[in-house]
Structure 1
Amino acid sequence: MGSLVQCSSVCLSLGHDCVVFTVEPKGSGLVCEVVRDVALKENVLGVHTYCLPAFEMSTTTAVPTTPTTTPDPLIIDGWIKYQEIRYYKPSQTKLNWASSLTACLSQSAGLFVAESFAEYQAVQDSLNTLQIGNKHWIGLKYDETAAEERVAGSLHWEGGATNHFNIQLKNDDTSKNCAFMEKDKTEVEFIPCTDEEHYMCQKVVL
């Protein structure tokens, strides 16, 4: 990944008007630059967040810009925006699947649930940018028996949706029933729900 300066310069070099501001997600050790191309609709194509470890910022030079909008308070708090009302945020800690869901709910959010293949790809791409863990729980799982065996045909997202939008699934082992996404991998894999991993929360603001 290039430096923050190089990332924001992509927008500027296209001759577009850009709004750039820097935020430091709480406890992450990262400094993130949010670049919004005001020539595009404010969605995943027009808003980009790039992060570097804080110590690397000492080697970069700020790009002169004139902000024309107030920074989004959720972005300042470490949430990454997708389209108009959808935000997601990777965790700093590791928990099992059920505890991860509880942690997201405590933030008025839930585990990440994709509404399209494009959204899944956008969140997957963010894992390749952020320097936080490799595996992240998402809100996709099979129901289990008391013996932690898979209930056939029970794959669903939190909320009950069953469409996985042709996302490639690696789910051969029926004792591994909770889904995670991983850096540099396009498929969704499953591991025991009792394992502890990072997790991806999602918030929808109506």
Structure 2
Amino acid sequence: MQPEPNAKPCGLTPKGLERQKRILDAARDVFLEQGYDNASINEIMCRAGGSLSTLYRLFGNKLGLFEAMMTQTSNRVFAAFEAVECAARRGDSPEQALKHYGRLMLERVLSQEAVGLYRLVTTDCSSERDRIQALFYEQGPKRLNGKLSAYLQTQVEQGGMQIQDTELAAFQFLEMVKGNFQLRAMMGMEIPESERERAVEQAVELFLYGATRR
């Protein structure tokens, strides 16, 4: 009998951690290339090296492996967003902090890896579709929004901003920056750097000052 999907590796040696990383890296590549339903755990272990028993022991099953892969990817991507929290501590203006966040968000969201994951979860038709989409939302958009929402809440508490719902405001800002870029990236279209920068600049201007003439 295979372990449950929420089985978690613990107490791994450095060698074990390296083996785990190889499996997760291989899983990411295979999932992105073939989608969740078509991805073969045999193919993943062939690329990573090792036995299926190791995969089952570490991750439980295919869904557990996908969840661990999403967590690994999310942790790597979102480490860069700690800079927003640092900006709040060192006293950067909201304009500076939001521009930095917007640029970084576009860099990550439009990366080949992120676009591939978004395509995977939006086109998946497997029996695990609901769980896969929930995992992606929790580890991606919701986590991304949480970082910005926390920064905005700090600004509200310090009296620098007046926002009724910082979580909603964070989503609104991110959508202004992202616009149709994610859709275009999924269609294989290039987004010029100048266009990205213009989107960030205008989103910050509208978010902080509105569209009325001052």
Task: Give the TM-score normalised by structure 2.
Answer: 0.27
Which is strand-richer, 1 or 2?
A: 1
Which structure has the bigger radius of gyration?
A: 2
Report the TM-score, using the length of structure 1 for normalisation.
0.28
> Higher helix share goes to which structure?
2
